[in-house]
Structure 1
Amino acid sequence: MSDYPFSAADLDALRAWDTPTICNGLELIVPERRAIGFTVEQMVAADRTLAPIVGLARTGLIRSKEPPRGPIPSRQEWYDYVEAGDLPTIALLQDIDDKPGYGAFWGEVQTTVHKGLGVLGCVTNGSYRDCDMLAPGFQIIGGRVVPSHAHVHMVAMGGDVNVFGMLAGHDGVIHADYHGAVVIPAEAVRRLPDAIDLVTRREKIILDMARAPGFTSAHMREALSRVQDIH
């Protein structure tokens, strides 16, 4: 197993916050990534009520519009690759067809198999189906819902992928919920709780004042001044 600067407990702790809040914390820790590292298209969550998922990326490229044109990885190779060990995993699949999501990789069978292997969910620009039969608790943040799997197959696995503008590679830390997904730099995982606490305390000053009766722009000016003193 590789050495990581965080534990499974550190990853699990980040499930307490939604993905926008994680992005807020990252703006303080890694401001140079303020405009990169997250999905930039609207996505469709299989279950909006599920808690966020946080895990290590297991990446793959898929197609579905036509049959394979040459040698492809076997499903068993993919299952060996995605299986969770000491840390949870998330499948990160880029559909590279000219119309992503033409056929669905994800449905009742694949969500059940992947959940059994310890995979928390999937983030994909591709599609899924069997909406009422997906494995309970397995989250999919996808591009669309379609009825058929067509010729869906794996093209490659373990390399870099681009899912709706989010560039990620093998072992990248992914945080995802119904808003979309973001890559968390490994060195930022343990720093995020403190950063989020700071953001929350700063926002509370503004929100409390804005919600109070008689709020004016003068009050807003005062709130912004007070925020500067919060460290």
Structure 2
Amino acid sequence: MDAALHDLLKSVDTPTVCNAIEVAQGKRGFNGFTRGTMLASDPDGVMVGYARTARIRAVAPPTEAPEVIKARRMAYYKYMSEGDRPSVCVVQDLDVPNAIGAYWGEVNTNIHKAFGLSGTLTDGVMRDLGDVAEGYPVVAGSVGPSHGFVHVVDYDTPVRIHGLDIRPGDLVHADGHGAVVVPEDVIAGLADAIATLMRSEAIVFDGVKGKRVTFDEFESIWAAFEAART
């Protein structure tokens, strides 16, 4: 992903990326996206980058020695501070569907932003909604007040977020709609696919927005739309 593609992906929403992947693949059936409703700390926030992954728990205290937990926590932070940029922090909460520990709030969003990450995608809990680091979006599974016994279980491992399997290094695009993993084989053609999608959708918008049309007029518009997107 070069800088131009990164900037383009930051300028569009996740549904657009889903549609563009289908354009690039020349078919429907792409399913590398989250399921269900997710919550966004910033309704306009978009994150794009390579996944840096981890898993956490918070319902019960850790059973390992405190020095082991502390060492793993610092190793996690070191891991998150490294790697290719742009990058997205992707954290699975192993307590889901009973997650209670908010790992994401004012403290951790500021830390991860300082590491140069683009945002966090998690099925876990976020809090401090008015104090999340500016320009650091969080897309989470729920909102709650407490951090519980939150601790890092492991990192740099495959995770699953709302039905979406994500491996370290996957290219992730996420916003308030949820998240998508961009397949490697479409990255090179994704900019052209987005341009094709925008041109085809413009035919419909130009034909119907703010207008009253007959079915015959719509039928002509739709035929032009279908011709343009193939």
Task: State the TM-score, normalized to the length of structure 1.
Answer: 0.89
Q: Which residue of 1 aligns with 2:123?
A: 125
1:65 correspondence with 2:63 = no
Report the Cα offset of residue 69 of structure 1: 3.0
Q: How does 1:49-64 map to 2 (within 5 A)?
A: 49-50=44-45, 52-64=46-58
Report the Cα offset of residue 209 of structure 1: 1.9
Q: Which residue of 1 aligns with 2:23?
A: 28
Q: Which residue of 2 aligns with 1:175?
A: 173
Number of residue pairs aligned between Structure 1 and Structure 2: 225
Q: Which residue of 2 aligns with 1:3?
A: none
Q: Which residue of 2 aligns with 1:13?
A: 8
Structure 1 unmatched runs, 5+:
1-5
Q: Which residue of 2 aligns with 1:139?
A: 137
Once residues 151 and 6 of structure 2 are traced to their aligned partners in structure 1, the CA distance between those partners, rounded to angstroms, is 30
Q: Which residue of 2 aligns with 1:153?
A: 151
Q: Which residue of 2 aligns with 1:93?
A: 91
More deviation, 15-24/76-85: 76-85
Report the Cα offset of residue 40 of structure 1: 1.1
Which of the numbers 76, 79, 96 marks the counterpart of 2:74? 76
Partner SS, residue 90 of structure 1: strand
Once residues 208 and 108 of structure 1 are traced to their aligned partners in structure 2, the CA distance between those partners, rounded to angstroms, is 43
Letter matched to residue 134 of structure 1: V
Partner SS, residue 190 of structure 2: helix
Letter matched to residue 69 of structure 1: T
Once residues 177 and 75 of structure 1 are traced to their aligned partners in structure 2, the CA distance between those partners, rounded to angstroms, is 27
Q: Which residue of 1 aligns with 2:38?
A: 43
CA contact (8 A) 1:8 1:86 kept: no
Structure 2 unmatched runs, 5+:
none
Partner SS, residue 119 of structure 2: strand
Once residues 28 and 56 of structure 2 are traced to their aligned partners in structure 1, the CA distance between those partners, rounded to angstroms, is 27
CA RMSD of aligned residues (A): 2.0
Once residues 213 and 49 of structure 1 are traced to their aligned partners in structure 2, the CA distance between those partners, rounded to angstroms, is 28
Task: State the TM-score, normalized to the length of structure 2.
Answer: 0.89
